Structure 1
Amino acid sequence: NSIFVSIHFNATNDDPNATGFEIFSFTPLGAPSTSDGAVAPSSLSTQPGTAVDAQSVALSACIYHSMLGHIPEFDRGIKRARFAVLRLTRVPAVLVEGGFLTERGESQLIAKKDWRVKLAQAIGAGVENYVALGVKKQPPMLVADYRRQNKSPPVEFVAPEADSSLLDLLGDSVALSPSPTPAETPLPAPQQQPPQLPGSLESAVIVP
């Protein structure tokens, strides 16, 4: 029983202020992709799905709620797409976008190892919830559930003013601008500290 989790970082030439997380699963049979405009029903019926469409959608929800529950990033949503990396798999598969390299503040967060470890642990917690859903029929945790379990509100890493090595690599080829304040959801009263996951997940493929 395997799954496929492809971990990426985003970039855009259209909006240098774009920030936040998003996650994609393969567009199910008969459904439009998130980016589709007006699509004729007849064309939707010709687009192939996969045998694991439902599992991929469930996996994306489990991981995404954990990411937002652990890290207060802007919510860009759970989306559908026909990316080749998702289309060519035969197991439940998702593509994670963990922030924008083209936004100055967010790129500085991504350059921090401790922030990447925190992101990997959040993805891992989401995978554990997906496994619990399949094996124990246990309903997966939602964003609010994760935040209620936190002893204190999620810590937002503050990027330093100094340029990081990642920004040096990007050079002048990317337009950078001051980071806007990301939107945050008010946090409910804290209760207890969730268990820490061992190690970090640096691989693009996660197999429970």
Structure 2
Amino acid sequence: MKKTLLLLWMSLFVLFLLPSPGHAAANTSKIFLDGEQLNLPNDVQVTIVNKNVMIPIRVVAENLKFQVDWNQKASQVKIQQDNQILALTVNQKQAMVGDKEVSLNTAPQIINNTVVVPIRFVSEQMGLTVKWNNQEKIVYLVNTIKTPAQEPSTNPGQDDSSTLAQVTDILFTNNQLLVSMDQDVQPIITTLKNPDRLVVDLPGTVFGDMAQPLDQGMNGKLDVSGFPNVTDVRYSLFKKDPGQVRIVVELNQVKSVQFSQEQVAGKLIVDLNVSGENVIPVIVTPVGEPGRKVVVIDPGHGGSDPGTISITNKPEKDFTLAVGLKVQALLLQEENIQLVMTRVTDVYPTRPERVKLANDLNADVFVSIHGNSVESAPKVSGTETFYYQRSSSKDLANVIHKHLIQAMGLKDRGVKNGNLEVIRNTKMPAVLLELGFLSNAEEEVALLTEDMQMKAAQAIVDGIKEYLGL
């Protein structure tokens, strides 16, 4: 256990930052290890880099007397305790723990001549329970091997703070409010008028290591410019004693507010079905049911992002949505599949939001639907399928591509390894389908027909089912 704890600490190595805009102020941050406050030098502080909380580990490294080697030429630090070795490389998201390669949220950096690494690397790869009190700028680290009876309080002088749940992420996409917490919380959801709004109260919660920004008053809001029936999504620390986070979804020109809620492993999902003009109801199967596979279908582009423009000036986003909705209709008939769509209307979830949705739901399969284009070569045609590195993604790509070629009858352009964000950053088997070329006159005509789109949709569903063994 001692070896593990030491290695955990050194995974973060040295953090040594001066204050800058958006970072925590000097001498205001604290770190508690198993309830004991660490003595930090005046020039060391907890800070935030690219929305990731960074923890200073230099003082811990010095106290525990690890063997630390810095290779300046390779920009790599190696930390060793007995036979345990951890290696981190600046500007690379891959690190080595022994002979195992692991991924970091953010690549290590050199700031003010010091290597910095996100604290999440500790909790995910090294076995410590890590909590971040954004209001007080305090990091709590607890050795999870200890029993509850042995484990000291992580916040001396404040008996209830260590028991509060921490809200770590708030996302609104596909008419769904997704709230991530480090433990389950029973929400209190109410609807109010003038203006119409949905209020989600989370008793016994505070903000933790938030992906979204907070102002000094512990308030924030999301960008909802792609959702015409949503005016505002804002959040705040509504009560401090005890803590309570409140999220308000303000709606625009709706006749009534309808919603359903599901809670799965610390994630609250509130599905909104707003009844009003020009609104397509969202059909989302609740996720997390045992024995059912979670499939995320991603109709590419949408809203402010038209994608490519076809040879007759039609946007790719309309084609991908048309195919995506046909896939949706087919998958909703499958009892063993739980379906989540990244969009079902003409809105634009960003690529990181699409990735995050799939990762947060721990999906089994992610399929992104696209139309291809090479304006300078209008004769280019055919279907191609992309995956990124993982063998599981390649297997999924091969199966779906086989069905697409058989069903659509277009030129086989093969299965290819592609460095594309939505398949690179998703954690499950993921593929991006380029069904055909909208820049090819003959192919565009075929792709825009109901018959060809149904063939493509059925092929996608058949491929997913074959890959999942359903």
TM-score by length of 2: 0.23
User: Which position in structure 2 is the counterpart of 1:75?
Assistant: 412
| Cα distance in structure 1, aligned partners of 2:452 and 2:434 | 14
Match of 2:392 in 1: 55
Corresponding position of 1:161? none
> In the alignment, is residue 23 of structure 1 matched against residue 385 of structure 2?
yes
Residue type of the alignment partner of 1:68 = I
1:8 counterpart = 2:345: no
* Alignment-derived partner of residue 120 in structure 1: 457
Letter in 1 for 2:392: Q
Distance 2:406 2:446 in 1: 17
Within 2, Cα distance between the matches of 1:98 and 1:116? 10
Cα displacement string for residues 94-117 of structure 1 (whole angstroms, at most 9, x for unaligned residues):
000010111111101111112101
Amino acid at match of 2:378: P
What is the DSSP-based 3-state SS (H/G/I as helix, E as strand, rest coil) of the residue aligned with 1:122?
Answer: helix
Please name the residue that 1:40 is paired with: none
**Highest CA radius of gyration, 1 or 2?**
2
TM-score (norm 1): 0.50
Aligned partners of 2:446 and 2:452 also within 8 Å: yes
State the match for 2:436 in structure 1: 99
What per-residue deviation string (whole Å, max 9, x for no partner) do you get for residues 60-79 of structure 1? 00001111122211010100
Are 2:408 and 2:452, in contact at CA under 8 Å, matched by a contact in 1? Answer: no
Shift in Å at residue 87 of structure 1?
1.3
Which 4+ residue blocks in structure 1 deviate beyond 6 angstroms? none
Q: How many angstroms apart in 2 are the aligned matches of 1:56 and 1:64?
A: 12
SS at match of 1:99: strand
Amino acid at match of 2:375: N
Count, aligned residues: 108
Is the partner of 1:82 in helix, strand or coil? Answer: coil
Distance, in Å, in 2 between the alignment partners of 1:96 and 1:67 is 9
1:13 positional shift? 2.2
Question: Aligned ranges for residues 49-198 of structure 1 at < 5 Å?
Answer: 53-132=390-469
SS of structure 2 residue aligned to 1:90: coil
Find the aligned partners of 1:90 and 1:3 in 2 and give their Cα distance: 9
The 3-state SS of whatever aligns with 2:370 is strand
Give the Å deviation of 1:131.
1.1
Could you list the per-position Cα deviations for residues 137-180 of structure 1 after superposition, in whole angstroms to 9, with x for gaps in the alignment? xxxxxxxxxxxxxxxxxxxxxxxxxxxxxxxxxxxxxxxxxxxx
SS at match of 1:22: strand
Give distance in 2, aligned partners of 1:13 and 1:107: 13
How far apart, CA to CA, are the structure 2 residues paired with 1:111 and 1:69? 18
CA distance in 2, matches of 1:115, 1:72: 10
Q: Distance in 2 between matches of 1:114 and 1:124?
A: 15
More helix by share: 1
Distance 1:73 1:56 in 2: 22
Following the alignment from structure 1 to structure 2, what is the Cα–Cα distance between the partners of residues 76 and 14?
A: 18
Q: Which amino acid aligns with 1:82?
A: N
AA in 2 matched with 1:63? I
Once the two structures are TM-superposed, the CA of residue 14 in structure 1 deviates from its matched residue by: 2.7
Q: Mind listing any 5+ residue stretches in structure 1 that lack a counterpart? A: 29-52, 136-208
- Structure 2 distance, partners of 1:92, 1:11, is 25
Q: In structure 1, how many angstroms separate the alpha carbons of the residues matched to 2:366 and 2:450? A: 23
Structure 2 counterpart of 1:10, one-letter code: N
SS at match of 1:79: strand
Instruction: Work out the CA distance in 1 between the residues paired with 2:379 and 2:397.
Output: 25
Task: Provide the C-alpha distance between the structure 1 equivalents of 2:452 and 2:403, rounded to a whole number of angstroms.
Answer: 15
